[in-house]
Amino acid sequence: MKGKIIINKDLCKGCGFCITACPRELIVFDRAVNAMAIHPAAQSDTGKCNGCGLCAIVCPDIAIEVWREAKQMHGSTGSPSRAKSRGNYGTKKS
Ligand code: SF4
Ligand code: SF4
């Protein structure tokens, strides 16, 4: 399954929980600082995310949004499923 995350860098306090949680080691600290002068989390490789959502689940500041590519069935086009905040996966469509 393919996934994608969006990190709201200005909400990030740099705790690093998401970096530890990602099983694919796809999250690092950004070189640039955010509005709080903190090096926020950033995704290092956008092509390898599986949309597992662990990074969003552990984020205490709800700074990470997870998107999963929907399965396509019998010629239907499908659309991305959105898992916004703390592991509420796959029910809301964009
Ligand atoms: S959704 Fe899963 S694989 Fe993707 S960045 Fe977050 S923890 Fe890593
Ligand atoms: S868990 Fe949330 S607040 Fe902590 S580094 Fe990751 S995005 Fe930032």
Give the position of tokens 């659309």. 79
SS3 call for 67 = strand
Give residue-wise pLDDT tens across range 56-75: 999 999 999 999 988 765 65
Distance CA 56, CA 65 (A): 7
Distance CA 30, CA 66 (A): 19
Q: Report how far ligand 2's centroid is from the alpha carbon of 10 (Å).
A: 10
Q: Which CATH number fits domain 3-87: 3.40.1440.10, 3.30.530.20, 3.30.70.20, 3.40.50.720?
A: 3.30.70.20
SS3 call for 57 = helix
Structure confidence at residue 46 (pLDDT): 83
Q: What is the mean pLDDT of residues 20-45?
A: 96
Q: Tell me if the pTM is above 0.85.
A: no
Pick the atom of ligand 1 nearest to 54's CA. 7
Is pLDDT above 50 for 36? yes
Structure confidence at residue 49 (pLDDT): 97
